[in-house]
Amino acid sequence: MAKISINIATGSLQQAEMIVGIDLGTTNSLVAIIHPETKKPVALKEHDSSSLVPSIVHFDEYGNASVGEVAKGFLETEPQNTIFSAKRLMGKSYNDVKNNAGFFTYKVIDDNTESLVKVQVGNQFYSPIDLSSFILKELKQRAEHILKTPVTKAVITVPAYFNDAQRQATRDAGKLAGLDVLRIINEPTAASLAYGLGLEKDDERTIAVYDLGGGTFDVSILKITNGIFEVLSTNGDTYLGGDDFDRLIIQHWLKEIGLTEEELHTNKQLAQTLRLIAEEAKKHLSSNEVFEFTLPELTTNDSRLSTASLRLTTYDFNLLIAPLIEKTITSCSNALKDAGLTTTDIDTIVMVGGSTRVPAVKNAVSTFFGKPVNDSVNPDEVVALGAAVQADILAGNNKDFLLLDITPLSLGLETMGGLMDVLIPRNSKIPTKVGRQYTTYQDGQSGMRISVFQGERDLVKDNRKLAEFNLTGIPGMPAGLPKVEVNFLINADGILVVTAKELRSGVQQSIEVKPQYGLTDAEVEQMLLDSITHAKDDIQTRALVEARTEGEQILTVTEKFLTKNASLISKDEMLATANAMQALQLAITMEDKNLIQTKTEELNEVTRPFAERAMDAAISGAMKGQNIMG
Ligand code: ADP
Ligand code: MG
């Protein structure tokens, strides 16, 4: 393995090395690099194919995954094992996504808890992190094939509105794919960098980034000063995008042909074909006035289909999508309001996402802001291109660019099962402050041990312990009720202050540490290398520990419930529950994460009907949040 060396003060790599930029999109993903000769960002692609890889994972009957164009071919025909839009599930619990449950055509586990959501395909369970890692692995392999060199380092982009958990999940997916994720950056920031904005030292401006992709829309207002990008506001609609344009076209054609949507649903092959033709039509109309398609090419014996032809003019298309465009403009107006600005304060408008190729979209945005938009860079590559620019800065190739101080290793604390919960990821700019809430695991627990660790491994035993203290005097409450907020603050001198406070009672304690104290450059390097070598084992262990913890919690909760509510439960239910509990207990002693999750799910199925009857608040509270060791 190549030796890497990292400058602790700047976080930059000492040795010139290819770092790729990755846009991990909801619909499409791609990789870009700075071309070694031209020094310009370019998207990677095989000779005549597209640079875009559809963000879709298909599993065959043996559980083998395929990613991209091949997987896209199964969207309508094998919906239950073709996973699209995994990005929407990143860092989410079922409670977060249940209002949009109808959107997913595959099985999203609906255990109604706060624990992270999983997808079930056959008898396998996949976390959104697993699913994203399949996509990242595919991108890594493609890049290696094209560049003919190993690719191990990347900058990955995320939406500006992604929270801490979603960013961490993206980092983990990268790690699982064998990538050292040097930095997670915001998509609008990346898009601005691709236009060269913010790269001049005293460039000061306010930018609106309008991003209309396949399934999501967002607009971000950014302020750049001295090379620092600040997100002033974001707005948008996570269920609005180019796919909705396709759907409107299909509905329009169905009406013309005289077919109902129900009829279409019964013919999966036709649905798949129409979906592809509709997208084709939409793209065609971005640079033509009419689209025409002769149906006889469709193999069908429905007479309504063999006589009709699919036709659409730009005029009709614009009428169809006008209400959706109007919605995005309302979001722009709200984003401005939240930032306390008006359209005249915006210096530059950047267009991102494949759907901004639609001329009516461009016109509407430019009319709203009252100036021309920036659309010269390919809108579905612009985010990846900007990520490559950021990667180049991190590689130290862009000498003029000022690099802020960053943390060389991640900082976090120990949670249930000896897991590392990262609060400040490595490469974060300092000063920085991050807070997260935890709760207790046992009824009446009066103290909580806060153990602070540094490093990239998933189990704290493989990381470096920096400090430990006990938060005492938590008043007696049922498990899950106390709210302990832990804050990590790194000041400009690199000193870490950890504070823990129980919010209901106000008890508080803190400690100060110097994270880099006593660590040599070589040791930091070794810690980074270890985290990559062990990434796969680590993440599997983490998944197993998490499955066990969740299983144990469900057992505890169920047991409590049974003793309290015995009168509400029939003999049969009692017996079925006891059997399911026993099966789960046994599964927990084994090393098979999927088995534990299956048994947890089965216990949930059994108890759901009577739990719903009598779930009381204290018990549901105990299932919420993360737990620190008692
Ligand atoms: P995401 O950011 O969600 O991954 P993309 O930025 O790749 O998505 O945008 C994908 C969307 O762009 C799809 O709905 C696709 O049909 C649409 N699109 C791509 N090219 C064109 C075009 N020429 N005209 C209109 N829409 C297009
Ligand atoms: Mg995108």
Does 345 map to a domain?
Answer: yes
578 & 597 share domain: yes
Give, for ligand 1, the residue of 55, 355, 362 to mutate: max count of ligand atoms closer than 8 Å to Cβ: 355
219 & 289 share domain: yes
Instruction: Give per-residue pLDDT as tens, 438-457.
Output: 988 888 888 999 999 988 89
263 & 189 share domain: no
Q: Is 23 a catalytic residue?
A: yes
288 CB neighbour count, 10 Å cutoff: 11
216: pLDDT strictly greater than 60? yes
**pLDDT band, very low/low/confident/very high, at 167 (cuts 50, 70, 90):** confident
As a whole number, mean pLDDT of residues 268-296 equals 89
Does 450 map to a domain?
Answer: yes
Of 467, 488, 521, at which residue does a domain stop?
521
CA distance 295 to 364: 33
Give, for ligand 1, the residue of 22, 26, 27, 187 to mutate: max count of ligand atoms closer than 8 Å to Cβ: 27
Does 403 map to a domain?
Answer: no
Q: Is 187 a catalytic residue?
A: yes
Does 405 map to a domain?
Answer: no
**pLDDT band, very low/low/confident/very high, at 10 (cuts 50, 70, 90):** very low
284: pLDDT strictly greater than 70? yes
pLDDT of residue 14: 42
618: pLDDT strictly greater than 60? no
> How far, in Å, is the centroid of ligand 1 from the Cα of 354?
3
Residue nearest to atom 8 of ligand 1 (CA): 213
Q: Is 456 a catalytic residue?
A: no
Domain that holds residue 53: 6-195+378-394
Give the number of the atom of ligand 1 that is nearest the alpha carbon of residue 380: 6
179 & 124 share domain: yes
541 & 567 share domain: yes
256 & 388 share domain: no
351 & 386 share domain: no
2: pLDDT strictly greater than 60? no
**pLDDT band, very low/low/confident/very high, at 250 (cuts 50, 70, 90):** very high
Q: Relative to the alpha carbon of 186, which ligand is closest?
A: 2
In a 3-state reduction of DSSP, which class is residue 454? strand
> How far, in Å, is the centroid of ligand 2 from the Cα of 380?
7
Does 171 map to a domain?
Answer: yes
pLDDT of residue 376: 96
Q: Relative to the alpha carbon of 286, which ligand is closest?
A: 1
Does 526 map to a domain?
Answer: no
Name the residue with tokens 């919605």.
Answer: 327
Which tokens in the block code for residue 480? Answer: 């899950």
User: Where is mean pLDDT largest: 64-68, 234-238, 395-399?
Assistant: 64-68
186 & 275 share domain: no
Mean pLDDT of the chain: 87
Does 527 map to a domain?
Answer: no
400: pLDDT strictly greater than 90? no
87 & 26 share domain: yes
Report the half-sphere exposure of 583 (CA within 13 A, side-chain side).
17
Q: Relative to the alpha carbon of 190, which ligand is closest?
A: 2
Give, for ligand 1, the residue of 283, 356, 383 to mutate: max count of ligand atoms closer than 8 Å to Cβ: 283
Instruction: Give per-residue pLDDT as tens, 564-593.
Output: 878 778 888 889 999 999 999 999 999 999
- From residue 197, how far is each of 194, 386, 389 by CA, in Å? 7, 10, 11
Which tokens in the block code for residue 285? Answer: 């109309």
Give the number of the atom of ligand 1 that is nearest the alpha carbon of residue 279: 16
Pocket of ligand 1 (CB under 6 A): 25-28, 213-216, 241-243, 279, 282-283, 286, 353-355, 357-358, 380
Q: Is 203 a catalytic residue?
A: no
417 & 547 share domain: no
Question: What CATH number is attached to the domain comprising 322?
Answer: 3.30.420.40
- From residue 223, how far is each of 23, 181, 210, 339, 488 by CA, in Å? 22, 25, 15, 10, 26
Question: What CATH number is attached to the domain comprising 551?
Answer: 1.20.1270.10
